Amino acid sequence: MSILVDRQTRLLVQGITGREGSFHTAQMIEYGTNVVAGVTPGGAGKTVHGVPVFNTVEEAVRETGANTSIIYVPARFAPDAIYEAVDAGIALIVCITENIPTLDMVKVYHYVKQSGSRLIGPNCPGLITPGQAKVGIMPGYIHTPGPVGLVSRSGTLTYEVVHALTQAGLGQSTAVGIGGDPIIGTSFVDVLGMFEADPATRAIVMIGEIGGTDEERAAEYIKAHVSKPVVGFIAGRTAPPGKRMGHAGAIISGGQGTAAEKIAALNAAGVPVAESAQQVAELVREALG
């Protein structure tokens, strides 16, 4: 078991003929992901790394039974790509694209929510269930199957923690990068709920950062609904207020969204917050006993 992606995943790549789309399609196939289709408007009839390309998502779904989509199209086309995937009935949509305007995401978020599809991202590395399916841009080899579920707003910082867990002999059930934007399709709370319900997950690592209050809401949720041990990590203790730290969502504004508030909220919910990736691994090991 795992969450969201596994051997049943039949993946569609939107933007498969682009540089990023094509490169990562090869990487995902190499990892063992079942990539069944690609979409590029006007690209029908081509194949990319052996994967058939279609003009529309609707056609790709009809012909291949794709149930998950990953989006590598540029920001100005990405909201449309998400709408197309939703309208074609894709259950899980993973959007890697960075720099989608926030007001576009307001509409996208609520449209996806009404549809019953799930969106991961945007501005995220995707997600991986080790040994089963990689739907993203993360280096697959650092992961190993095991009992730890990861959820994170970051990319390389997640790899860092996964690497430390793997080196400590702690494998992962699924690692989900939810994205660094102010408005994202899937929140910490959503993923925590899935890990809580997943029998293969025995401990959870949550990697947050400055900006917004999603970590605080996750802390409340953990207190009320999560019985499995959770270990936290929060980046940006030294970040100055009012400055965007790379990710569009990583900004302390109006005194809100500081690392100190998030750490305090997590501690109050009984979640220990590590100071390094190695310490995350130590705390997970202790929690698993």
Partner 1 sequence: MNIHEYQAAEILKGYGIPINQGIVATTPDEVAAAAGQLGGTVVIKAQVHTGGRGKAGGVKLAHSPEEAREVGSRILGMDIRGHTVHKVLVAPGVNIAREYYLGVVIDRAARGITIMASSAGGVDIEEVARETPEKIHREAAHPFLGFHDYQARRLAFRLGIEPDLVGGFARIARQLFEAFVQSDASLAEINPLVLTADRTWLALDSKITIDDSALVRHPDLEQLRDLQEENATELEARAAGLSFVKLDGTIGCVVNGAGLSMATMDAIKRYGGEPANFLDVGGGASAEQVEKALRLVLADPNVRAVLINIFGGITRCDEVARGLLSAMDAVKPTVPFVIRLVGTNQDEGRRILADAGITVVDTMPEAAERVVAAAGAAA
Query: Is 49 labeled as catalytic in the residue annotation?
Result: no
Of 93-101, 168-176, 190-198, 220-228: span binding partner 1 (CB under 8 A): 93-101
Whose Cβ is closer to partner 1: residue 61's or residue 138's?
138
Using the rule CB under 8 A, is 285 a contact of partner 1? no
The span from the first CA to the last CA of the chain, in angstroms, equals: 21
Region binding partner 1 by CB under 8 A among candidate stretches 6-14, 83-91, 195-203, 247-255: 247-255
261 touches partner 1 (CB under 8 A): no
Q: Which is nearer to partner 1, 200 or 269 (CB)?
A: 269
Say whether residue 49 binds partner 1 (CB under 8 A).
Answer: no
Q: Which residue in the set 37, 60, 100, 205 belongs to the binding site for partner 1 (CB under 8 A)?
A: 100
130 binds partner 1 (CB under 8 A): no
77 near partner 1, rule: CB under 8 A: no
Nearer to partner 1, 52 or 109 (CB): 109
For partner 1, the closer CB: 153 or 202: 153
Please pick, from the candidates 31, 159, 195, 221, the single residue that binds partner 1 as defined by CB under 8 A. 159
Q: Which is nearer to partner 1, 100 or 200 (CB)?
A: 100
Please say which residue, 224 or 227, places its beta carbon nearer to partner 1: 224
Q: In what order do the strands lie in the sheet with 92-95?
A: 47-48, 51-54, 35-39, 11-14, 68-71, 92-95, 118-120
Q: Is 156 in the site for partner 1 (CB under 8 A)?
A: yes
Q: Which stretch binds partner 1 (CB under 8 A): 7-15, 65-73, 189-197, 246-254?
A: 246-254
Question: By CB under 8 A, is residue 237 in contact with partner 1?
Answer: yes
User: Of the ranges 28-36, 48-56, 58-66, 104-112, which one interacts with partner 1 (CB under 8 A)?
Assistant: 104-112
Cα separation of 49 and 224, whole Å?
A: 47
For residues 201 and 129, what is the distance between their CA atoms, to the nearest angstrom?
Answer: 11
Q: Which residues contact 250 (CB under 8 A, 6 or more apart)?
A: 153, 180, 209, 210, 211, 236, 239, 244
Which residues contact partner 1 by CB under 8 A? Answer: 27, 75-76, 99-103, 105-107, 109-111, 125, 137-139, 141-142, 152-160, 163, 180, 182-183, 207, 209-214, 217, 233, 235-240, 243-250, 254-255, 259, 275-278
